Amino acid sequence: MKSRIAVLASGGGSNLQAILDHLDALGHRRAGDVVLVASNRQDAGAMERAERRTIATAVLTDPGPSALDELLTSHEIDLVALAGYIRLVPPEIVVKYDGRIVNVHPGLLPAFGGPGMYGQRVHRAVLEAGVRVTGVTVHFVNEQYDRGKIIAQWPVPVFATDDAGTLAARVLRVEHLVYPRVVQGVASGRLSLQNCATAGIEFVDSKPAFTLLPHEDSRLAENIDLALGC
């Protein structure tokens, strides 16, 4: 049976799109279907993307646990993927869906995470700190912002010429490759709280090597598949 996935998003929804496209590409091998997209904003681009696909949508006006609980229950949701969702998931929901809520963060947690660290703020902080490597983290959600168990990370280089915009674009491209694969892995049960996969590892000539981007997206996707054991 396929997992029923809800995506919660506050923004443009490019990660939602990447999940939809990846599950489409997997065809009958996909472990789940996105059956609900919910947002705290009616005008979020993610809502429009969902409507175009005739996926059920809901606006979460009330930040409390009851409305979200009711929504997830009524759509018989197995797995929740946060994709640029800026609200904290209420602790009651975190407990009920333990190990079944995942989030993508555009940085290498636990650095550059926590309350207020989202979107361009993450990339600006990375540039201000002068670090040379940033990346993508996918983690299970607990009751604290960005502190749940890490499932997968992938590095992305920071270049001297970067501004927050160029860095965000480079990181987002990797989010689109890593996040859908982790969603598939969690939906299938292969990745779980007990069995978190991996750090970012590139395979060069079949040998693991810690190298960095940029590469062709297709090669990078293959390497992420290998690292995640897809």
Whether the CB-CB separation of 83 and 179 falls below 8 Å is answered with yes
The least distance separating ligand GRF from the CB of residue 220, rounded to whole angstroms, comes to 17
Span 165-194, contacts to ligand GRF by CB under 6 A:
172, 175
The least distance separating ligand GRF from the CB of residue 77, rounded to whole angstroms, comes to 19
- Angle formed at CA 138 by CA 132 and CA 141, multiple of 5 degrees: 130
Q: What are residue 103's DSSP bridge partners?
A: 82, 139
Does 112 help bind ligand GRF (rule: CB under 6 A)?
no
Residue number of the CB atom closest to ligand GRF: 84
Of the listed pieces 66-74, 103-111, 189-197, 205-213, which binds ligand GRF according to CB under 6 A? 103-111
Helix (H, G, I), strand (E, B) or coil at 124: helix
x-or-dash pattern for ligand GRF, window 48-87, by CB under 6 A? Answer: -----------------------------------xx---
Distance CA 162, CA 168 (A): 9
Helix (H, G, I), strand (E, B) or coil at 161: coil
Annotated catalytic, 105?
yes
What burial letters (b/e) apply to 162-190, b meaning 16+ CB within 10 Å? Answer: bebeebbebbbbbbbbbbbbbbbbbbbee
The least distance separating ligand GRF from the CB of residue 112, rounded to whole angstroms, comes to 11
**Interface positions with ligand GRF (CB under 6 A):** 9, 11-15, 83-84, 104-106, 118-119, 172, 175
Catalytic residues: 105
